[in-house]
Amino acid sequence: MALVGANGHGLWHRRAIARLQEAGRLRLVGLCDVRPIEPAPGAAIPDGVGLFTDHREMLRAVRPDIAVICTPPHTHLDLATDALRAGCDVLLEKPPVLSLAEHRRLAAVVTATGQACQVGFQALGSAALARLVDAIRAGRLGTVTAVGAAGSWQRDDAYYQRAPWAGRRRLAGRPVLDGAVANPFAHALMQSLAVAQAATDKWDPRAVEVERYRVRPIEVDDTASLRLTLASGLPITLAVTLCGEDFIAGEIIVDGTAGRAVLEYPTDRLQLPGEAGPSAVPGRVSLLENLLDHRADRSVPLVAPLSATEPFTAVLEAVQGAPEPVRIGDAWLAVRGAPPARHVTVVGINDAIRRAVLQRALFSELPVAWAVEPYRAQIGEGADG
């Protein structure tokens, strides 16, 4: 096992790898990062582990069987391609790549090498999601009529100083694809697509409408509403912010002719029709352990194979094509604290998020005073070319 991107979020992977090494399931042989790699609580550097600043050098020197790639999204295509061609199975952090063209290039490498590529959508391994999918397929919700996702978090100024690519749309001439939809709420979009697949047996978005907003001098959205229309006509509505009032951890709301289900995906709490309230559904399949099981027996399916994430990439490509986010005026903002711990809140945003998801509407359709007309694009088979 080797890890590319050993700092930052890579520490989470190092701790997971350490637990599996202690259990005898793998052996860490290499860590790679452009910054110095230091031990951390739960993430010691075992004796004999090579430390590298160049991933190609690491691949040649330690010849790992599996490479975990936890680096900025605009580096994923090249790093994953090199690892696959070096004979590695790959666990690739989300979002996997930045465009459909990149997605298809990487998929071609997966096919040509015969290696496996798992994408880091760990919420897809949730037992709560599995129970929701089973309920949908068993008809407990009747015919599914809409899927929605709501999230309201708070990030301070320091969040946008965490890395050179944070808050950026492009870096060194390449797309970066940071932003609320593409990064912190990527799981909300992917979970919504997974639920839609259970309801329609397809992952086929055809049109997207998106509104992107910001409260800081950044190049990407910190607040957004988005509506997807699938080929079947099923709508998926996403309304999220990093400038929230009250905390909404992340909810997938599924409406059907026989009732509503709500999945709080970060906590694996689920409420199905007829239940008095949400209940915790414990259990998540570790994506790394699932990849190990798949290596041992290829009949074991991957939880989040690259192929399953193509609709996600198609939607993000459409979001990337939208105009620059609109600055929300100061009249609708509340500010507290001082940089770098300054927080900016959009007044009334939580009510707008709730209404948007329940009414299957964009912010501009509610209406919200600061909202503007959405960007619209066709994707999938409906797109030009």
What residue ranges do the domains of the chain occupy?
2-122, 123-282+306-382
Residues of the chain where predicted confidence (pLDDT) is lower than 70: 381-385
Contacts 24+ apart (CB under 8 A), 366-374: 369/332, 370/213, 370/326, 370/328, 370/329, 370/332, 370/346, 371/211, 371/213, 372/211, 372/326, 373/211, 374/209, 374/210, 374/211, 374/225, 374/227
Selection from 35, 76, 44, 104 nearest residue 67 by Cα: 76
Q: 174 forms bridges with which residues in the sheet?
A: 171
What is the DSSP pairing of strand 174-175 with strand 170-171?
antiparallel
pLDDT at 385: 40
pLDDT tens readout for residues 111-166: 999 999 999 999 999 999 999 999 999 999 999 999 999 999 999 999 999 888 89
pLDDT at 380: 72
Decide which of 3.10.129.10, 3.40.50.720, 3.20.20.140, 3.40.50.300 is the CATH code for 2-122: 3.40.50.720
Q: Which pair of structure tokens corresponds to residue 318?
A: 């459409």
pLDDT at 176: 81
Q: 335 forms bridges with which residues in the sheet?
A: 344
The distance from CA 49 to its chain's CA centroid, rounded to whole angstroms, is: 30
* 271 close to 279: Cβ distance less than 8 angstroms: yes
d(CA 217, CA 319): 19
d(CA 312, CA 96): 9
Q: Which pair of structure tokens corresponds to residue 378?
A: 């066709």
Cα angle at 200 between 210 and 240, to 5 degrees?
Answer: 30
pLDDT at 382: 54
* 330 close to 220: Cβ distance less than 8 angstroms: no
One-letter amino acid for residue 358 of the chain: L
d(CA 137, CA 201): 10
3 state SS of 80: helix
* 110 close to 84: Cβ distance less than 8 angstroms: yes
Could you please state the CATH topology (level 3) that the domain comprising 123-282+306-382 is classified under: Dihydrodipicolinate Reductase; domain 2 (3.30.360)
